């Protein structure tokens, strides 16, 4: 049974703290009684009546169709020192954002595609966690690991607020 809430974690789990999205989804999967492999980067696609979870390396246009089935969507990613807070929580509205990279799309842009094609605007947030190390490793740095757990707990509260 599908939920009305989707959490999309994204990033590169082979680049240490860039894998925050995968680690948050692992925490949420455990909260819903699901187990996933301990291998960061393993595919996560879980549907249940509490929350649906999806892991992807990056945001892509086809996600617009996926999110058009949900009333609430949470995007989870890592950020660098460009964002001052260690855990950023931003409400999103559909908006096309240009990107200098052809393979990069923002959550706002995929929301704008969902609004345009499917006439659907879910409640949406972007939760990003400060990354400190982006080496070729699969484990989070100690600082980011602690922040990831805090962010995951707050997302869990958001999921269950209704």
For residue 146, give the 3-state DSSP assignment: helix
Average pLDDT score over residue span 22-37: 92
Q: Which CATH superfamily is domain 5-159 in?
A: HybD-like (3.40.50.1450)
The strand pair at 5-10 and 72-79 is best described as: parallel
Model pLDDT, residue 95: 80
> Which pTM was predicted?
0.93
Average pLDDT score over residue span 134-153: 96
Whole-angstrom distance, CA of residue 155 vs CA of residue 97: 25
Model pLDDT, residue 148: 97
């Amino acid at each position: 049974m599908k939920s009305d809430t989707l959490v999309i974690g994204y990033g590169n789990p082979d680049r240490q703290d860039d894998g925050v999205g995968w680690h948050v989804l692992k925490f949420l999967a455990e909260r819903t009684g699901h187990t996933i492999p301990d291998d960061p980067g393993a595919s996560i696609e879980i549907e249940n009546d509490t929350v649906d979870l999806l892991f992807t390396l990056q945001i892509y246009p086809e996600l617009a169709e996926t999110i058009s089935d949900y009333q609430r969507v949470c995007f989870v990613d890592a950020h660098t020192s460009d964002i001052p807070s260690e855990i950023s929580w931003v409400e999103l509205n559909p908006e096309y954002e240009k990107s200098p990279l052809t393979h990069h799309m923002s959550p706002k842009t995929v929301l704008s595609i969902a609004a345009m094609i499917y006439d659907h605007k879910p409640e949406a947030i972007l939760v990003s966690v400060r990354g400190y190390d982006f080496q070729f490793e699969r484990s989070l740095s100690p600082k980011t690991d602690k922040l990831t757990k805090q962010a995951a707990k707050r997302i869990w509260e958001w999921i269950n607020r209704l």
